[in-house]
Structure 1
């Protein structure tokens, strides 16, 4: 909940609101820019386009704007808007319905691949309340039935909208003037009838008081059914790895296996196995009869794929109400209220015990054979050793002893890897409810040929998460230590039952119930947001030779409060299969003032049809920062002649650190990252020497058994500064008079973020690559090598990462947009209707992150993999052709993704390149009459194959399901009733 505002803050907030309401007494005719006669001929509508608060046509905006309309949403058959947004060339996929491992139950949009927290999400030009501690917005909380259009501006927008608009702005424009009733119902599924999605919406709208007022009420529901990799079958039904020569995929999986295995913990110790050399790297594989043999990483891995979701199930309800009323001519009050409830479930394989240190009873253990006890006895040590604090369930200093003198230690310590299938799969249920209430007053100001808009908004997103199928590390440790007779736990408190983790299916139901733990958490994000804008021009006061100066000024106050409250086991990391998530709470306030002007410099001169200068600036005073932060925009447009517009802009944008980045305590994670010194990484001679230099025993280098995932510890930093982004765009818009209804735009973009907030070193992979690379060469005094904490047996315990202002991020490229509308008759064909064509293309030739001053830049343009994550194709294209004849229409969409290469040149994988992908979607419309309409279609018509990868796959679904279609051909149908 919000902390009470101080008296000073209350007074300041009240001042902002009073300033917003004051202009209401000056209600006059509405402001509109007058379009020239030529523009009237082609009916160019002047509107306030996202990226500015001054009205202008789309094609004369100083910033490139991409628009997705209501018709396109219907023709695509989407139920979740992020799936359509992610096909735009400007976007790199965020979290979608096909992301299972890595999903937090939200849906996000990620412009230019700079991160969802650097993409500002607006609804009707005003902020949507965030959901996560990172400040990201869950698109599930925006009602799709009421979306009129979506406007996307890529590039800095902080001078106009404030923090977070570093990569750009996505603005959802709602239908606020709806009249009548519309009922729609939809269904989609794969061509095998799998992964069905059901949706239904009812929208009512009515005018009243002689059309002075309008009210809209929309109710929505959708249900998305689950589909697992096992149900889908084929190559998706199992995990894949690379063969020894990295020339082919072979069945693979996790080293945390159902029978379980153990490695020695104490340095220099080993497992004694018949016919096997005594090496510290030997791992013991448990047999179901209590015996033990040598673990074979090529054949003994666990197939974790079948139970993972290909499509995560969801159920969503939404209620949205909009209202407006003209109090008197030129003065309108408006209100909005919406409530959304969304539940998303993810499912992973049974919980793994991965590289966990446990002490266990040996001599008196009834679950082990005599031969197994002898084999494991050589892991023990009569010299004192310590278990680090990173394993708090077993931490301490120990000396193994043989009390009865039979040659066997009573208790020894090992590093275990086991899959606890006895407790079932890990299931996370994410439940989010969000509501937002908005009140506003807008009106006209005749003196400035413009008007004002004042608003107050309160939003809250509350979430809860229940995690099933995990176990307590403390209880496993308790159940492994037995009494002298081996019949019960040495510590019987809490109903302890002896735990048999030696073999597959050997654990009793009582033991499984004892170690199970149900994990719960709740979170709450509140946002208070108020402001006012006054816009108009100077025509009634003065004008320049080229016309009056347009302007917009205003102020905003925003307070954000986030709290995350986990259950004790989740907070402390007393878990085997989920990351530790300590409690987080914090808040910040910001007071802002901004101004924007549009100055016409020249007009109607030779080669200067118009020349305009646009300036914008904002000052933001954050309670978390010692000094105010300034952002600004300088932009200009030049029309040499009526058909051609040239435009350029420079933006300085910011992203203030989020609550989580400021206040999150340390927690652990398990990203995909392979130990460079391990057998899995097959280190070359230079890497081997670097590993030895860093302190890894020469006998362990190249033979350490490592998983594909590495534990990390990361956390917040209250001393973080805002990120700073500098955006340059320049381009053109050409609308030839000799070819009516045709336009082409082209824009260069460059975005560079300095002081970017990132975990130290950028990622676990990068920290290891730097430590064991040529630059550091394993120097143990380097902060990179010091960040890698290893156990006594040489395997990695964790990598320490913290948030710092150390990174630099840069992306650069070019956008092209083409639209054309015509009739078949104009093309010399029979009069069989009209054609329209629209194409958006992006060439991204740079997408680079430099984690800090010492690190080698990570270049991700044309790349994918363990460092870059989701693919960033250099060439992306979305083209659509629509044919309309009377009440019938057809729509064909082509989405093209260029080929991409693996991002780790020093490591070879079987799949080093993912070839270009072409997705074809076909849909049809039938307007039966004014009241009834149908839309149906097929997505991925040609069944473009999903790329299956080995060691360089993302943690989810053997590849990159957010970027590439994993479901295959999908059919959809939607019916609408209107009156």
Structure 2
């Protein structure tokens, strides 16, 4: 008999997916329901048994998914002790961690999800099947805004889903399902590490009730979360910044007076450049031009002042910035919200949702390093230096005057510092007297939604809603230095400043050069959507089949965002936090979409065919009208076996930041080829370096060409960007053998390719340098033109005084492929301590991923220049969307033993080994790291249901206290012992490791309680 879909049952996908609005949530904690599983029917069922799976808007009976879906149930958040959503999501093998609570530099106090490592902007985040609010011009969702304590489940879908949900879902969809509350729920949790620090505390409450004789339901909630700070100096492995391999030095700890075996540098140093005297502009240091090193043992172009006013030659000294950087960012968050629905008559229901989040997060960096070329008035600085140093300045002053006169005689312009009494010099000074650079982000976000749903006759239903979300961020920065005031303090036009030694700046001088800066972000999203779904009457392919089902609809979206810096930041006068110009922009899109599901039943076999298409008309001229589409098939010859596959074409329109972003300065890790040995021996590279502005005497001299491991650049948006496109394929098999009750196995292959990908021109500073000088080797090529005229004429270095400009471009491609394996199993064990039955339940869940390919091609014109990041880590892959180490093998598994009221749970997380991505450098020759070994963490949790109202939970994460090892140093600060491979040098992201991937807190305890009545 044909199963008729009646008008009460035919709810649209957006309502059925949002269990809290129109349908009851599925029961949680069933004996055979694993906390994490690979599923083919993840969804929420209504009273009629209809299901909507994430990735579709069609409500169907027994509809399964052609795309692989990983489901994280409420139980996983409870057993893992996770208060923030990121802590569970980032453990999934399909996810490469984005920003987390351990991301300080880089980091911005938010938590994002990066599905498959293809970039957080290419992962769509939904809540109850609808878009959530974003927080910045990149239109990224902050997971901190989602109420974890109300989660029913999280569905993670692989592959593009633009045909169903619109732009952004190139790598897949993460859908957070909130649950209805019946009665009152109160909860609290406290976490602290074994070392007694990094405290975290949360309290939450929710009230849910039916009203108007059951015609309506409402839930309101509130939550408070507080997280303490933890500094890198609080852990031995991160207390000292390791580095040196990239400059062919032994892996060395460059510290301050706190180094283990004595002082090897000073917090403040100044370099005095004497090479600005190329009178003939021939890139060479000709006799009489003043390029030689002065006597008296003082190297004028690299002098360090250990003692006030007394210079010495610099010997590779660097400042230990590590101890005062955060290892865990402090956070304080308030959540408020509610949702309700009400039947207004004849099956028509009105529904509403509202949420508000106040989130405050601090970040802290070491004191501001001032770097750049400044004019110095000799009379101003004379009181601050000894006689020998002042004499050196006078000699430099005379050389500049002589070189300037020679230039005039040669028909060239005079030097700017030609006048006696003034010299132009390169300065590096860490302004430790100001204290830390601190920035406080306070984000206020709200989201409101209202809609109607109901029947249209017997076979159809409608759903229409409008949503508005807005986020405002205010950031206050302390510890910045005003470049103009610093310059005025050296050239005699302002308050004189004494930078010649550690702690030489007086409070008055500090006040004269410091500046507080502020900026803000305002982002808004509007969505208006209307869907009609149902069936073609009772029409079905066979008498045994369900009717053919469909959904058609239209959607309007408008996004707007702006970045508002104050005058100091916008003008570039700030040194400390990166300066940037304002950004403001908006666009909208009108869309029409349709889906079709054709179920076929014949005997014990089933065949399901699905298709979807969407036309989107963007107000952006470079995008215009675009099509996305998808098709899938599932075939079950018997109930035990299902074979499935899907193809999807998806798009991502450029976001506001990529389109309209004002130029801002950044300091990415990079290597300048003109400072490498090959530049001095390879005639082609040498000639190109000279042609792009490097003095011939500096070619191949890393100490002159590259002053540190970071090279500055200006980065900005491009209003002519087009959309990105992706093609994703998935194919798999689901095994549910009846002869092994409780066992389910899924194996799925995925292949995602993104073309026309938006990225920084040339793939960023490092990649553009590499391509220009090692591949293109043509001064007229745009890649090389990016650096021509942007080098310091005296040293050839790329400096903050004139950084090159890199705009966004549709020039890259991304590809990832691999296999997901999911296993879940539940059975009875003949042993019990807490029940009279003599047995308990055992649950096992496993989710694992083998990543075969994770590649990034930064410039389409060079298809052979591919960065492969599968099984890799390092500075090259860090500059790609993959960002973090991408192991070939990653899995998470959980073992639950449920003995009446007691649940004992063990979680095992595994991250495979990864190799260094730079084949040109053998880091082991410099006491460095070429491979990070495989990594395993074990967590244990005990949960006890004291009664029907009260549940107590306690657990320990990282049971065996697996951390990067503590380095051992010799008397010169050289690392003599590295306990494990998690302790990195130049290949680190921050804290001598990758703190979002590898645990940095250590053994961590939590206790929680939940009260329901």
TM-score, with structure 1 as normaliser: 0.88
Query: In the alignment, what sits opposite 2:112?
Result: 108
1:88-167 correspondence runs (5 A): 88-167=92-171
Query: In the alignment, what sits opposite 1:466?
Result: 476
Query: In the alignment, what sits opposite 1:185?
Result: 188
The superposition leaves residues 112-141 of structure 1 with CA deviations (integer Å, 9 ceiling, x where unpaired) of: 001111111111111012111111111111
1:581 is displaced (CA, Å) by: 1.6
Most deviating of 935-944 and 450-459? 450-459
CA contact (8 A) 2:729 2:752 kept: yes
Query: In the alignment, what sits opposite 1:819?
Result: 824
1:701-716 correspondence runs (5 A): 701-702=700-701, 703-704=703-704, 705-716=706-717
Query: In the alignment, what sits opposite 1:291?
Result: 310
Is the alpha carbon distance of 1:905 and 1:353 closer, same or farther for their aligned partners in structure 2, counting shifts above 3 Å?
same
**Structure 1 unpaired stretches of 5+:** 1-25, 34-41, 387-395, 403-408, 483-490
The superposition leaves residues 301-329 of structure 1 with CA deviations (integer Å, 9 ceiling, x where unpaired) of: 10000100000000000001111112235
CA contact (8 A) 1:677 1:688 kept: no
CA contact (8 A) 1:672 1:710 kept: yes
Query: In the alignment, what sits opposite 1:868?
Result: 877
Query: In the alignment, what sits opposite 1:453?
Result: 463
Query: In the alignment, what sits opposite 2:25?
Result: none
CA–CA separation in structure 2 for the residues paired with 1:324 and 1:385: 80
| 1:48 has 2:52 as partner | yes
Q: CA RMSD in A?
A: 2.6
| 1:951 has 2:965 as partner | no
Is the alpha carbon distance of 1:426 and 1:272 closer, same or farther for their aligned partners in structure 2, counting shifts above 3 Å?
same
CA contact (8 A) 1:713 1:800 kept: yes
CA–CA separation in structure 1 for the residues paired with 2:489 and 2:455: 74
What is the DSSP-based 3-state SS (H/G/I as helix, E as strand, rest coil) of the residue aligned with 2:885? strand
| 1:435 has 2:435 as partner | no
Query: In the alignment, what sits opposite 1:374?
Result: 391
1:378 is displaced (CA, Å) by: 4.9
Query: In the alignment, what sits opposite 2:327?
Result: 310
1:698 is displaced (CA, Å) by: 4.2
The superposition leaves residues 450-508 of structure 1 with CA deviations (integer Å, 9 ceiling, x where unpaired) of: 522211111101110011001100110111112xxxxxxxx3xxxx3111111111112
Query: In the alignment, what sits opposite 1:199?
Result: 202
Query: In the alignment, what sits opposite 1:619?
Result: 615
What is the DSSP-based 3-state SS (H/G/I as helix, E as strand, rest coil) of the residue aligned with 2:512? helix
Is the alpha carbon distance of 1:686 and 1:872 closer, same or farther for their aligned partners in structure 2, counting shifts above 3 Å?
farther
Query: In the alignment, what sits opposite 2:851?
Result: 844
1:414 is displaced (CA, Å) by: 1.2
CA–CA separation in structure 1 for the residues paired with 2:68 and 2:866: 29
1:799-818 correspondence runs (5 A): 799-818=804-823
1:243-642 correspondence runs (5 A): 249-252=251-254, 257-264=267-274, 266=276, 267=278, 268=285, 269-270=290-291, 272-274=293-295, 282-297=301-316, 300-354=317-371, 356-363=372-379, 365=381, 366-380=383-397, 381-382=400-401, 398-401=415-418, 409-448=420-459, 450-482=460-492, 491=493, 496-541=494-539, 543=541, 546-600=545-599, 602-604=600-602, 609-625=605-621, 627-642=624-639
CA–CA separation in structure 2 for the residues paired with 1:27 and 1:747: 35
CA–CA separation in structure 2 for the residues paired with 1:331 and 1:688: 78
| 1:694 has 2:729 as partner | no
Is the alpha carbon distance of 1:377 and 1:550 closer, same or farther for their aligned partners in structure 2, counting shifts above 3 Å?
farther
Is the alpha carbon distance of 1:809 and 1:923 closer, same or farther for their aligned partners in structure 2, counting shifts above 3 Å?
same
Q: 2:950 aligns with which of 926, 932, 937?
A: 932
What is the DSSP-based 3-state SS (H/G/I as helix, E as strand, rest coil) of the residue aligned with 1:761? helix
What is the DSSP-based 3-state SS (H/G/I as helix, E as strand, rest coil) of the residue aligned with 1:872? coil
CA–CA separation in structure 2 for the residues paired with 1:225 and 1:245: 37
What is the DSSP-based 3-state SS (H/G/I as helix, E as strand, rest coil) of the residue aligned with 1:376? helix
1:547 is displaced (CA, Å) by: 4.3
The superposition leaves residues 344-399 of structure 1 with CA deviations (integer Å, 9 ceiling, x where unpaired) of: 10000000113x1111112552212221123234544237889xxxxxxxxx9744
1:262 is displaced (CA, Å) by: 3.4
CA contact (8 A) 1:30 1:443 kept: no
Is the alpha carbon distance of 1:688 and 1:244 closer, same or farther for their aligned partners in structure 2, counting shifts above 3 Å?
farther
What is the DSSP-based 3-state SS (H/G/I as helix, E as strand, rest coil) of the residue aligned with 2:489? helix
What is the DSSP-based 3-state SS (H/G/I as helix, E as strand, rest coil) of the residue aligned with 1:262? coil
Query: In the alignment, what sits opposite 2:239?
Result: 237
The superposition leaves residues 758-805 of structure 1 with CA deviations (integer Å, 9 ceiling, x where unpaired) of: 1011122211221232x23x4333322322321121211234311010
CA–CA separation in structure 1 for the residues paired with 2:355 and 2:404: 60
1:666 is displaced (CA, Å) by: 1.6
CA contact (8 A) 1:383 1:400 kept: no
Most deviating of 366-375 and 524-533? 366-375
TM-score, with structure 2 as normaliser: 0.85
Q: How many residues align?
A: 902
1:709 is displaced (CA, Å) by: 1.2
Query: In the alignment, what sits opposite 1:30?
Result: 9
CA–CA separation in structure 1 for the residues paired with 2:292 and 2:348: 83
CA–CA separation in structure 2 for the residues paired with 1:580 and 1:591: 36
Query: In the alignment, what sits opposite 2:261?
Result: none
What is the DSSP-based 3-state SS (H/G/I as helix, E as strand, rest coil) of the residue aligned with 2:221? strand
Is the alpha carbon distance of 1:186 and 1:397 closer, same or farther for their aligned partners in structure 2, counting shifts above 3 Å?
farther
Query: In the alignment, what sits opposite 1:916?
Result: 934
Query: In the alignment, what sits opposite 1:485?
Result: none
CA contact (8 A) 2:449 2:466 kept: yes
Is the alpha carbon distance of 1:126 and 1:629 closer, same or farther for their aligned partners in structure 2, counting shifts above 3 Å?
same
What is the DSSP-based 3-state SS (H/G/I as helix, E as strand, rest coil) of the residue aligned with 1:160? helix
Most deviating of 939-948 and 413-422? 939-948
CA contact (8 A) 1:385 1:397 kept: yes
CA–CA separation in structure 2 for the residues paired with 1:168 and 1:907: 36
CA–CA separation in structure 2 for the residues paired with 1:497 and 1:83: 49
CA–CA separation in structure 2 for the residues paired with 1:430 and 1:164: 26
Is the alpha carbon distance of 1:129 and 1:244 closer, same or farther for their aligned partners in structure 2, counting shifts above 3 Å?
closer
Is the alpha carbon distance of 1:930 and 1:750 closer, same or farther for their aligned partners in structure 2, counting shifts above 3 Å?
same
The superposition leaves residues 255-307 of structure 1 with CA deviations (integer Å, 9 ceiling, x where unpaired) of: 995233333461545474436597x9x4121243312221111xx21000010
Is the alpha carbon distance of 1:433 and 1:27 closer, same or farther for their aligned partners in structure 2, counting shifts above 3 Å?
farther
CA–CA separation in structure 2 for the residues paired with 1:866 and 1:734: 41
CA contact (8 A) 1:62 1:649 kept: yes
CA–CA separation in structure 1 for the residues paired with 2:207 and 2:663: 49
| 1:649 has 2:646 as partner | yes
Is the alpha carbon distance of 1:56 and 1:73 closer, same or farther for their aligned partners in structure 2, counting shifts above 3 Å?
farther
1:89 is displaced (CA, Å) by: 0.3
CA contact (8 A) 1:752 1:809 kept: yes
What is the DSSP-based 3-state SS (H/G/I as helix, E as strand, rest coil) of the residue aligned with 2:170? coil
1:699 is displaced (CA, Å) by: 2.8
Query: In the alignment, what sits opposite 1:978?
Result: 1012
CA–CA separation in structure 1 for the residues paired with 2:899 and 2:533: 42
CA–CA separation in structure 2 for the residues paired with 1:49 and 1:256: 61
Query: In the alignment, what sits opposite 2:752?
Result: 751
CA contact (8 A) 1:573 1:580 kept: yes
CA contact (8 A) 1:184 1:201 kept: yes
